[in-house]
Amino acid sequence: MPAMLRTLAQRLGLMSDTFPGGIHPEEHKLSAGLPIEMNALAPIHILPMKQHIGEACSPLVSVGDRVLRGQKIAKAEGYLSVPVHAPTSGTVVKIEEHAIAHPSGMGMPSIFIESDGDDAADASLQPLTDWINCDPTMLRERARVCGLAGLGGAVFPTFIKLVKDQRYPIDTVILNGIECEPFLTNDHALMQAHADEIVVGLAMLRHMVGATAALIAIEENKPEAIAALQQAVADAAMDQVQVVVLPVRYPQGSEKQLIYSLTGKEVPAGKLPMHVGVLCQNVGTTKALHDAILLGRPLTERIVTVSGDALPTPANLCVRLGTPMRSLLERQGLKSMEGVELIHGGPMMGERLRHPDIPVVKSTNGILALSHGFMSAAHSVEQPCIRCGHCSEACPVSLVPNLLADQCRADQFDKAESYNLFDCIECGCCSYVCPSNIPLVHYFRYGKGQLALQRREQAFAEASRQRSESRMARIEREKAEKAARRSRVRKAHAPAASDAKTADAKVAADTKPATGTDSKEHS
C-alpha cells in the first residue's frame, strides 16, 4: 500500500499506526525498573548441546577434564550452529542426556560442570579494541566463535545475519528493545544498566554490515530505558542513530512485525530481513557482541527475568548459562513447587516446563512461576467457535485462524497449507482473544507437525522407490551381462553369431553397476 494511503488510513483510525492486528495484554511487568542482580555461582552447571536454532554441537571435553570460564566445550557441527562454552571454571563430571525446555519432555545430551568456585577465565581470546579497523569478516568470525545467538528468545545464530552481501546491501540496522511479552523485563533492565555498551555494539553492527542508518526501537512503557539510550547515543555523538518510541502492542517484538512498524516494509515469505535491506538485532545480543569483540568474552551469561504471580520477589538476574532454574526460583523465595506452573519465556509464547531442574540456556529470557488459577484462565474448556472474527482481527500476519483451526482439527492439512498455515508465527494473539477458549495455536502446531511428518514420509518413500528402481535396473543389467557373456562363449564355439547381440552386450558392460558404490558414499 502506498505510504500516503497508509498514513490517511491511520489518521482515520482505520489502521493501526504500527502493524496490522496484535493485542494489548495486561503487562504484568512486576520486575520493571528493578536493577540487575548477580546470581551466585551454582554448584553444578548443565549445558545442553543445542541452545540455538540449527544443528546440535558435539562435546570437545570428556569426563574429568578441567575447564575454564569461556573455554569452548562443544564444537559447532554444520553451518547453522554455534559452539557452547563453559560458564565457569571447574570439572566435567558427566556427559549424559538431561531434560531441556522442550514441550516433548525429551532430553538432550548435556555436559555437567562442577564449579570449583575460582571462576578462572580462559584468556585465549584477545579483545579486539581496534575493531573499527578490523575486517568485518573477522568480527563476524568472532561472533561465531563466541557462540552468539539471538537472545530475544529465537536463538538464531547471530553471525549468519552479520553478512555484507553485494546483492542485498543493508541500509538500516534496527535494535530490538521492544520486549512486548508480559512479565518480561530483562531487556528493560539491560538497556537501563548497559546503554553505553549497547550503543557501542550498535556501532559494531553498522560497521560489520556497512549500514548507514540505525534505529533503536523501544516501547513507550520503558521510559527509563528510553532515557538511558537517548543519553548514551548523545554521549557517543553518533550520527543517523534514532531512538524510536513505539506504542505498546504485542507482538511488536517479533522481527517481521517490528520491521513493518518502523519501515513499512514486509519481509517476503521465506526470506530474511536482509532481503529488504534491514538487519534486526535484539539489544541483549548487541551487548553480547560488544563483550565478545571488545572484551574477548564468549557468551556464558545472560539476563533472566524471574517473575510470575506465584513468586514472592520477582527480579532481573544476571545468570550463568547452565544454572538449574530451581535455584533461581528458590533464590526469589519460591518455597514449594506444589500448585505452581513453570513457564520458560513469556506467557504468550513460552513453553510450560514439566519440572524445575532444567538449566538456563541462551534462549531463557524469563522464568515464570504462575499459579494454577492464573494458568487455567487460558486453558479452560474449549467451546464451539462462534465465528466472531476476533482472531482474524488480532492476527499480525492476517491469517484467518478459525478456518485454519477447523482444517487442522479435521486433518485437512493440504487445505490448511493453502490457507498459509506455515506463515503463522505462533504469537498466540488468536488464542488470547478467542471467546470460546479454542487453543488455536495448539491446532496450528499440530497441523504443522503433521504436515512436516507427511513430507518426511513422502521424501523417504520417494527415495526408497528410487533406490528400489535403480536396484531393479541393476539386476536387469547384470542379467543381460551374464546372458551376453554366455552368448560370447557360444560365439567362440559357433562363429556365425549376430552382430547386434555383441553391441548390446557392450553397452551393458560400459554402464557400471552404480548403486552399490553410491550408497557407500552416502554412508
Tell the smallest beta-carbon distance from residue 76 to another protein (Å).
16
Tell the smallest beta-carbon distance from residue 67 to another protein (Å).
25
Which residues from 241-280 bind another protein, rule CB under 8 A?
A: 256, 260, 266-271
392 binds another protein (CB under 8 A): yes
At which residue does the C-alpha cell 514486509 appear?
A: 266
What are residue 151's DSSP bridge partners? none
108 binds another protein (CB under 8 A): yes
Tell the smallest beta-carbon distance from residue 277 to another protein (Å).
15
501 binds another protein (CB under 8 A): no
* H or E, element range at 92: strand 90-99
235 binds another protein (CB under 8 A): no
Which residues from 441-480 bind another protein, rule CB under 8 A?
A: 441-443, 445-446, 448-450, 452-453, 456-457, 460-465, 467-471
Tell the smallest beta-carbon distance from residue 280 to another protein (Å).
15
157 binds another protein (CB under 8 A): no
Q: Which is nearer to another protein, 215 or 421 (CB)?
A: 421
At which residue does the C-alpha cell 513447587 appear?
A: 337
432 binds another protein (CB under 8 A): yes
Q: Which is nearer to another protein, 145 or 408 (CB)?
A: 408
| CA 284/CA 265 separation, integer angstroms | 24
Tell the smallest beta-carbon distance from residue 419 to another protein (Å).
7
> In this chain, which of 17, 196, 382, 417 binds another protein, going by CB under 8 A?
382
201 binds another protein (CB under 8 A): no
Tell the smallest beta-carbon distance from residue 253 to another protein (Å).
14
Count residues near another protein (CB under 8 A). Answer: 100
434 binds another protein (CB under 8 A): yes
Q: Which is nearer to another protein, 8 or 461 (CB)?
A: 461
Which residues from 329-368 bind another protein, rule CB under 8 A?
A: 341, 343, 345, 347-352
CA separation (Å) from 364 to 38, 149, 400? Answer: 16, 12, 31
CA separation (Å) from 85 to 23, 29, 268, 370? Answer: 38, 31, 35, 31
CA separation (Å) from 155 to 148, 245, 258, 363, 455? Answer: 8, 25, 17, 6, 25
120 binds another protein (CB under 8 A): no
383 binds another protein (CB under 8 A): yes
Asked whether the beta carbons of 19 and 257 are under 8 A apart, the reply is yes
For 476-487, give one letter per residue: b (16+ CB within 10 A) or e: ebeeebeebeeb
**Which of 372, 428, 370 lies closest to 399 in space, CA to CA?**
428
Q: Which is nearer to another protein, 131 or 443 (CB)?
A: 443
Asked whether the beta carbons of 285 and 158 are under 8 A apart, the reply is yes
SS (H, E, C) 228-243: HHHHHHHHHCCCCEEE
> In this chain, which of 420, 487, 497, 504 binds another protein, going by CB under 8 A?
420
Q: Which is nearer to another protein, 112 or 432 (CB)?
A: 432
DSSP 8-state class, residue 55: P
Tell the smallest beta-carbon distance from residue 478 to another protein (Å).
11
Q: Which strands make up the sheet holding 301-307, listed edge to edge?
A: 36-38, 315-320, 301-307, 366-371, 340-344, 351-353
**Which of 122, 118, 116, 173 lies closest to 147 in space, CA to CA?**
122
375 binds another protein (CB under 8 A): yes
106 binds another protein (CB under 8 A): yes
DSSP 8-state class, residue 423: G
378 binds another protein (CB under 8 A): yes
